[in-house]
Amino acid sequence: MRKSASCCSMIIFLCLTLLLQGCSPFTRSENDQEDKVSPAILTIAYQEDSLLHLPLYAAIKQDFFTQKNITVELQKINNSQEAVEGLLSGQYDLVLSGPEISFYSYQRGEPEKLVFIAQSACKNGHFLLSRKSENPFTWNEVKGKVVIGTHSGEASQIALENILRKEQLRPFLDVHMVNNLPPTLRAGIFRSGTGQFILSDEPTATILENENLGQVVTSLDEHLQINIPTVFMATKSNFKEKSELYQNFVTALQLGLTWIEEKSPEEIATVAQSFFPEQKEKILLRGICRYKNMGCWSENPLLTEKELQQFQQILLDAQELNSPLPLYELIKNP
């Protein structure tokens, strides 16, 4: 009997122990901590803040990346060379810029290809501002004048020169081009009195108008008749190694594009204000309305070979490319 009672006591003790372990307030949190995966960090390099980047900004502020367990870190860079070097070294996961960087890198024979995984904007979004506006504007007005453009070899500068040639104007001969200034200095140089025209995107174009320093007379997109996107680029090897991560990035970016499409300019301006804290809401609103009316932001973040083929032709016409590239190697839609 004593032995039987001892066995019963042992069984009761074990049952109580298991029951208490199952009710422990620490067990579940410990398991959750083990199962929780730290957010993946994506570092995105870019040269300057622009309203063309609003789908990215919206995806950040609306926590679309957080929902995909991604932490986005933005890093400003000085030039395209720094962008390429940063991608190749692994310092950056993505570069946000015009598509020309990938074309030039391929032509140089870099061992690592830079591939397009998505677009933030489907149009160039640059405007030509004049100190003196005469309606209607004709391109003959820039003959003999100084135009502050973007940097030599950049998509916007190439597009401007392409338009000038179509208008029977020779860049650097009939029109004096300033194409060696970094983005941070262009507006300031124009403010100082240099040049009669300047090429700017938003919100800089509206800022200069608001300061009564110039007026938008035309947009490059109006004369190009093709789309030049603003794109996200990664190295081919990094894309292959982290394909799921890049897929999640594009999914979150799609949510950002949809949000921009569905929301009013006033709602979008609240997001933009976080990235342009020194600008008044009315400045941002005007730039946002301009881009919305132009259809600058695509409904689909994925690029097509046809779009890039049109841009490649502009590079060939400008003799920036020696020969056509196999575009299928440059597009890696997740």
What is the band of 226 on the pLDDT scale with cuts at 50, 70, 90? confident
Domain with residues 127-224, CATH architecture: 3-Layer(aba) Sandwich (3.40)
In this predicted structure, the answer to whether residue 19 has a pLDDT above a threshold of 80 is no
Tokens of 136: 């209607």
In this predicted structure, the answer to whether residue 26 has a pLDDT above a threshold of 50 is no
In the chain, the amino acid numbered 97 is S
Tokens of 286: 């005007």
Phi (first) and psi of residue 121, to 5 degrees:
-135, 150
Q: Give the lowest-confidence range in 19-23, 88-92, 155-159.
A: 19-23
Which of 242, 289, 248, 249 is closest to 265 using CA atoms? 289
Domain 40-123+227-329, CATH number (from 3.60.21.10, 3.40.50.300, 3.40.190.10, 3.90.330.10): 3.40.190.10
Average pLDDT for the chain: 90
Tokens 């109580």 locate to 16
Would you state the pLDDT for residue 218? Answer: 96
CA–CA dist 164, 225 (Å, integer): 14
pLDDT one-digit tens code per residue, 46-72:
999 999 999 999 999 999 999 999 999
Within this chain, domains 40-123+227-329 and 127-224 share the same CATH topology: yes
The average pLDDT across 146-175 equals: 96
Tokens 């300031």 locate to 188
Distance of CA 101 to the CA centre of its chain: 13
Q: Which residues contact 108 (CB under 8 A, 6 or more apart)?
A: none
Strands 176-178 and 146-148, bridge-based pairing: parallel
User: What secondary structure, in 3-state letters, does the chain show?
Assistant: CHHHHHHHHHHHHHHHHHHHHHCCCCHHHHHHHHHCCCCEEEEEEECCCCHHHHHHHHHHHCCHHHHCCEEEEEEECCCHHHHHHHHHHCCCCEEEECCHHHHHHHHCCCCCCEEEEEEEECCCCCEEEECCCCCCCCHHHHCCCEEECCCCCCHHHHHHHHHHHHCCCCECCCEEEECCCCHHHHHHHHHCCCCCEEEECCCHHHHHHHCCCCEEEEEHHHHHCCCCCEEEEEEHHHHHHCHHHHHHHHHHHHHHHHHHHHCCHHHHHHHHHHHCCCCCHHHHHHHHHHHHHHCCCCCCCCCCHHHHHHHHHHHHHCCCCCCCCCHHHCECCC
Could you tell me how many residues make up the chain?
A: 334
Answer positive or negative: Cα dihedral of 165, 308, 223, 216. negative
Tokens of 329: 């190697």
Strands 230-235 and 94-97, bridge-based pairing: antiparallel
Would you state the pLDDT for residue 35? Answer: 54
Helix axes of 100-107 and 80-89: crossing angle, nearest 10 degrees: 70
- pTM confidence score: 0.87
In this predicted structure, the answer to whether residue 7 has a pLDDT above a threshold of 70 is no
Would you state the pLDDT for residue 134? Answer: 73
Domain ranges, ordered by start, for the chain? 40-123+227-329, 127-224
CA–CA dist 29, 25 (Å, integer): 7
Would you state the pLDDT for residue 199? Answer: 98
The average pLDDT across 114-127 equals: 96
In this predicted structure, the answer to whether residue 1 has a pLDDT above a threshold of 80 is no
In this predicted structure, the answer to whether residue 14 has a pLDDT above a threshold of 70 is no
In this predicted structure, the answer to whether residue 41 has a pLDDT above a threshold of 80 is yes
Phi-psi sector, 32: left (phi>0), alpha (psi -120 to 50), beta: alpha
pLDDT one-digit tens code per residue, 297-326:
988 999 999 889 999 999 999 999 999 999
What is the band of 13 on the pLDDT scale with cuts at 50, 70, 90? very low
pLDDT one-digit tens code per residue, 72-115:
999 999 988 899 999 999 999 999 999 999 999 999 998 899 99
The average pLDDT across 324-331 equals: 94
CA–CA dist 129, 218 (Å, integer): 7
Would you state the pLDDT for residue 24? Answer: 44
pLDDT one-digit tens code per residue, 272-294:
999 999 999 999 999 999 999 99
pLDDT one-digit tens code per residue, 243-274:
999 999 999 999 999 999 999 999 999 999 99
Tokens of 49: 């803040």
In the chain, the amino acid numbered 8 is C
In this predicted structure, the answer to whether residue 5 has a pLDDT above a threshold of 80 is no
